[in-house]
Amino acid sequence: MDYENYMELYEAIYFFSRLDCCIDNRLPKQLIEDKMKKLGLNESIYKAIIRILMVNNLLDYDGRCFVLTNENKAKYLHILNNIISKNQDDHYSALFNKGINESQFFFDSITDAEYEIYSRYNYHITFKIGKELAKHVNLANMKILELGGNSGGLGGALLLMNKDCSYTIVDTKIPCMLGNEFKKLNNVDITYIEGNIFKLMLTSASYDYIILMNLLHDFDDRRCLDILNNCMKYSDGNTKILVIEDILREEFEPKEVVMHGLRLSVECRGGKQRIIRELVGLFSNINYKLEKMIQLDTIHTMLVMGLCDN
């Protein structure tokens, strides 16, 4: 495999070299808490590193521990030396510092211009997912709220298939500005509300569907529960919550999903990909249960969550 421009793997190798905890070339599935504290890493960063290295055949697993064989080590050293020879140490030191920064959050660390570029690109990606979602959920005459919907690609696709539904997106200033631009270009009626998803102040009493796409994986469990509790303010007994993101299946994952796990660990302190059981556990706190699971594409899974029976 050609590793020359494989940036995500470079990042994983760099972080792995910081661990320096391999005894007899064996590494446990989970580091003990004291070791994690000493290294300044959280569990999600460690797991993301291991997944990246496993997918790229840089670690083996013997049923109890991850094993760095001589062949693994040769590949590992080749890639690490490649990084060093290109004098990228300053870049990776900065990356490491971002990983241990308690307040690190991706959207707080980019400029307005970068945020605009991100949001313009995001529209086309989420539009494709919306077209697939529309095949599985009938939103005719429904009232929909999407939190963190960015520039509205998902909503734009859904409205083309369900023109008679009411669609509201809550996000920050730049995504809302671009969303209003896109809705005119595509002739769809989306209401954009510039606001804070942790301090929702909406006039509507309740919605038929609340959509959380690529949102919960940006935050730790505590912040996720804040979001879910806010959802309950605008829910009634029939409200469904749709969770759409790269959910882990506790097995070998698509490469794109694994790469994103490392990005989340570095760019969003506390952010992590979750397995279905973890998401179901979060929703149990608001008395919601899993009703249906749908694979939208090779990366994104949709969970349909509904209120538990009393």
Residue spans per domain, the chain:
7-100, 110-251+272-307
pTM above 0.75, yes or no: no
What's the pLDDT score for residue 33? 67
What integer pLDDT is reported at residue 179 of this predicted model?
Answer: 96
Q: Is the per-residue pLDDT at 55 higher than 90? A: no
Kindly state the average pLDDT of the residues 185-196: 93
In the predicted model, what is the mean pLDDT of the chain?
82
Specify the pLDDT at position 158. Answer: 95
Lowest model confidence (mean pLDDT) among 102-116, 232-246, 255-269: 255-269
The predicted structure's pLDDT at residue 137: 92
Q: Which residue has the higher pLDDT, 260 or 101?
A: 260
Residue 4 confidence (pLDDT) above 50: no
More confident residue, 142 or 112: 142
Between 55 and 94, whose confidence is greater? 55
The pLDDT score that the predictor gives to residue 1 is 43
- 177: tokens are 């500005």
Mean of pLDDT values over 19-31: 62
The CATH class that applies to domain 7-100 reads mainly alpha
Question: 84 CB contacts (<8 Å, ≥6 apart)?
Answer: none
What would the mean pLDDT of 164-169 be, rounded to a whole number? 94
Which of 41-45, 65-69, 149-153 is least confident? 41-45
Give residue-wise pLDDT tens across range 85-115.
655 555 556 556 655 565 667 787 778 888 8
Kindly state the average pLDDT of the residues 19-24. Answer: 56
What is the pLDDT at residue 118? Answer: 87
pLDDT (average), residues 199-220: 91
Mean pLDDT across the stretch 233-244? 94
Q: What is the pLDDT of residue 194?
A: 95
Work out the average pLDDT over 72-80. 76
pLDDT at 11 over 80: no
Confidence of residue 269 (pLDDT cuts 50, 70, 90): confident
Pick the CATH number of 110-251+272-307 from 3.40.50.150, 3.40.640.10, 1.10.10.10, 3.30.460.10: 3.40.50.150
